[in-house]
Amino acid sequence: MANSVKERKEDTPPMVVDAEEEENDDVEDDGVEHAGAGGEGKKKKKKKKSKKKKVEQTDPPRVPVSKFYPDGNYPEGELQEYKDDNTWRTTSEEMRYNERLAMEDPETTYQSIRRAAEVHRQVRKYARKMIKPGMSMFNIAENIEEGTRALVEANGLETGIGFPTGLSLNNCAAHYSPNGGDTTVLQQGDVLKVDFGVHVKGRILDSAFTLTFEPTYNKLLEAVKAATNTGIHEAGIDVRLGEIGAAIQETMESYEVEVNGKVYPVKAIENLSGHSINPYQIHGGKSILLVKNDDQTKNGRGGSGDCSHYARIVDAPRVPLRLTSAKSLLKSINKNFGTLPFCRRYLDRAGESKYLLALNHLVAQGIVQDYPPLCDARGAMTAQFEHTILLRPTGKEVVSRGEDY
């Protein structure tokens, strides 16, 4: 399982009305007689009520989600009650009061993350249909990201992509995104993890799914999806993270997969984890391992191969940079990404070139963190499902949930 534990019930947005109106020249009789100039009775005609133009998503998706929800109220995710020691929060008047305050405060409102979640649902619906064997990984990533930028109305650090699109294949579990010049092509027998993020005002929606194109590894996907749902079910405020990991591992390792007549046990990946998310910071400091462990930390409120993923470290030290190119690159990173993760394709898009030496220097100086691909042994197959959860005062909101998973 290469998944973080993070997660509406519909994937297709409702049909809503736009402000524009269609012209309608038809007339109807209002049934009232009026006196004409000569005294004769005459019926007054009036136009039919104009019909509102309905908004529909395009293919590929390019209509911003704000057009579907012009009032700014986006759909809630799936609501789940807390369990065990957290159940009192559901009916607590104090917690209900805290929830009302949170909903009224524009700084902590849930609408930003819900808007990001709706973008994710619509883009991933397209991605599931669009991705086919024979496509290049580069084109798959670019298609997903163009849709994300359009639907979220990307605008500098205000709204945009939350982190690079992960397209990890087979034994690679996470953190692979094609760099410029990568010619890798998706094959019929591949197991593809699609992991992409959306942010609105720094509120990052992180969600992932796995695609296969033949039935061999269906049981693997079933196991990882079930384990993800177990983690979601167990999550709560003040829940010990080690206990969540144990529940995830137990669920996942109750499955087996048969490949070419041989049965293999499903195993949790020990060095991958779920994590908390802070504004503009994808890894917020707390991690949920996918296996049983002794971590007594309580949850709060709220590799190999060429490296593609990077992020400026939030509390990076202020150190003198001896390379002029590194100073220039850091300025570009701060302007375009801040502390949001980025990849080399995004540097290319920003107009940077011949930046590898400078980028590696920033990594060496502890200013930028690199995230190389995380891979298992060759021949292994990995899968990933991931959702974003809001730990609200009175319950959990699996904000990224859709009808697809």
Is residue 309 marked as binding?
no
Spatial neighbors of 352 by CB under 8 A, at least 6 apart, are 329, 332
The 3-class SS string of 173-211 reads EECCCCCCCCCCECCCCCEEEEEEEEEECCEEEEEEEEE
Are 144 and 136 a contacting pair, CB within 8 Å?
Answer: no
Other CB atoms within 10 Å distance of the CB of residue 377 = 6
Does 295 count as an annotated binding residue? no
**Is 175 assigned to a binding site?**
yes
CB 164 within 8 A of CB 308: yes
Instruction: State both tokens at 281.
Output: 């910071």
Question: Distance (Å, rounded) from C-alpha 135 to C-alpha 173?
Answer: 20
374-375/172-174 β-pairing: antiparallel
Do 331 and 355 touch, CB atoms closer than 8 A? no
**Residue 21 among known ligand-binding residues:** no
Q: Is 120 annotated as a binding residue?
A: no
Measured at the CA of 39, the angle between CA 36 and CA 44, to 5 degrees, comes to 30
DSSP-derived secondary structure for 85-153: GGGGGGT-HHHHHHHHHHHH-TTT-SHHHHHHHHHHHHHHHHHHHH--TT-BHHHHHHHHHHHHHHHHT
Is 361 annotated to bind a ligand? Reply is no
Phi, psi of 146 (to 5 degrees): -65, -40
Feature table: binding site for a divalent metal cation: 195, 206, 275, 386
Feature table: binding site: 175, 195, 206, 275, 283, 386
Feature table: binding site for substrate: 175, 283
